[in-house]
Amino acid sequence: NPPWSTFIFRTLLKNPTFKNKFINAFADQLNTTLLPLNVKTEIDNRINEIDSEMPTYAEKWGWTYEGWLGNNENMKNFAFYRPDVLWPHLTDFFNLNGTQTLQVYAEGASNATIKLNSISLRAFPWTGKYFNNVPVELTAIPPEGYKFVRWERDVTSSNPKITVDINSDKLVKAVFELYQPSEYEGVIINEISYRAVKSEDSEDWIELYNNSTQYIDISRWILQDSEQSHQYLIPENTILSPNGYLVISRDIYEFDEIHPWVYNVIGPFNFGFSGSGECISLFNSRGTLKDKVCYANEYPWPEEANGGGYTLSLSDPNKDNMLGFNWNNSPILNGTPGRENTGTTPVIESQEKISSKLLDCYPNPFNNLLNIPVVLAESQDISIDIYNVNGQKIANVYKGVLSEGFHNLQWFEQTGQTGIFIVKLQIQDGIQIKKILRVK
């Protein structure tokens, strides 16, 4: 491959965190999707779908049905032997020190989920192999009506999310037990933006809050307004951490314009919340109603949320959110999405510690002027450069010290070139890049 085509990936691999995540994600797939039996089953399913049509196609195009069957066997043989090539290839390429066996057990709940790196385990015991000295992450997610208690065997911890050093064969067991949550414990609707000020319209959004001590898998949960056909399906592998927040936005790009600090946001959805009042419901993956708020635009509901620049903000997550008396205007203009409903300085209490970040550049595609938004966790030296797809540096946008916080830098393209460019941010933590497209 030409150097420009792998520039982004090669640059990302210089970051140790990304490298470990990539190695583990590759191992995840080799332990699940790319297992020879799984690939063979997938190939056989595709063969069965088109088998009856193949004699006709073979005759039409001048080849034989038997030859097609032989090619199918070649694919299955390739799938059978390929993992034996990939494991040592990864070992050599990343200079790793072999693999160890990881066994995962769950006790006390038959339908528990354990998230292992990028995959979700639901059948136990489970066995896979991972690379020496590349730590793996495990998160215990109890089913409804249960709670996580502890990890046992080679790792002991009461924290549902653990990191396991793979330096020998490991066996870990997650223990769950029956649990009856309190009335307002679980995932709740915590903040609603249904009619923003036109000059700062981030479009409609809603904030969910996990008012419990457990990780909760909200994959395939449904957000719905008063119209039954107005539904948003929450994506797979969406897990809300204890005391964690998640924003669901009607328009992610408009939302990012007003709230560039907020990273725990998903969407978009294709309906809006009414300015005259609405019922918003949250259903789990089995269709059970988990929370519902029917707000109004008049007393006892806060009225400044109706075009006055504020949002509906639940005063206490332990109170009944169906009662208007328990809601306030947000403590600051435009609300507090992705964090606690307080009027403190907007430092996001996201599910992970905020770090310096190159945000999405806009507009993309662009014509002449490109906005390059950057968030810095602390004051530091940075540089922002532009590269073409051949890896040639064509412009320096900024070089010097910037203070902590949000900055929007701009690049006015003057070379006349069109096509794909790379925006490269160099900071203390490493390098971040974004791909952009210039059109005339």
Which CATH number characterizes residue 286's domain?
2.60.40.1260
Looking at the structure, tell me whether residues 320 and 199 fall in a common domain: yes
Are 201 and 308 in a shared domain?
yes
Nearest to 206 by CA among 161, 242, 251: 251
Tell me, yes or no, whether 8 and 27 share the same domain: yes
pLDDT of residue 37: 96
pLDDT on residue 58: 92
Which token pair is 336?
A: 């507090």
The mean pLDDT value for 89-118 works out to 95
pLDDT at position 181, please?
Answer: 66
Residue 43 included in any domain: yes
Supply 114's token pair. 């354990």
Place of tokens 């210089």: 14
Q: Where are the alpha helices (DSSP H) in 32-98?
A: 36-50, 54-61, 65-93
Confidence of residue 408 (pLDDT cuts 50, 70, 90): confident
Listed in sequence order, the residues at least 6 apart from 186 whose beta carbon sits closer than 8 Å to its beta carbon are 210, 211, 212, 216, 290, 291
Q: Are residues 362 and 287 in the same domain?
A: no
Same domain, 35 and 67: yes
Please report whether residue 136 resides in a domain: yes
Count of the separate structural domains present in the chain: 4
Look at residue 354 and tell me whether its pLDDT is greater than 70.
no
Categorize the per-residue pLDDT at 355 as very low, low, confident or very high, splitting at 50, 70 and 90.
low
- Starting from the edge strand earliest in sequence, which strands make up the sheet with 380-388, in order? 393-402, 380-388, 419-427, 430-438
Say whether both 60 and 33 belong to one domain: yes
In a domain, 344, yes or no: no
Range of the domain at 227: 187-329
Q: Is 415 inside a domain boundary?
A: yes
**Contact in structure between 263 and 246 (CB atoms under 8 Å):** no
Residues 325 and 191 in one domain: yes
Which amino acid is present at 52? S
**Looking at residues 71-75, what average pLDDT do you find?**
96
Both 270 and 191 in one domain: the answer is: yes
Residue type at 105?
Y
User: Is the same domain home to 389 and 412?
Assistant: yes
Q: Is pTM beyond 0.85 here?
A: no
Strands 99-107 and 113-116, bridge-based pairing = unpaired
| Pair (145, 270) in one structural domain | no
Is 60 exceeded by the pLDDT of residue 318?
yes
Contacts of 255 (CB under 8 A, 6+ apart): 202, 203, 205, 247, 249, 262, 265, 267, 337
Q: Looking at the structure, do residues 195 and 309 belong to the same domain, yes or no?
A: yes
The average pLDDT across 203-212 equals 93
Secondary structure element (H or E) that encloses residue 385, with its range: strand 380-388
pLDDT digits (tens, 9 = 90+) for 371-387: 888 888 788 889 999 98
Give the chain's length: 440
If you average pLDDT over residues 364-377, what whole number do you get?
83
Please give the average per-residue pLDDT across 35-57, as a whole number: 95
What is the percentage of the chain residues whose pLDDT exceeds 90? 53
Q: Do 296 and 387 sit in the same domain of this protein? A: no
- The CATH number of the domain where 128 resides is what? 2.60.40
Share of the chain above pLDDT 70, in %: 96
Average pLDDT over residues 181-201: 82
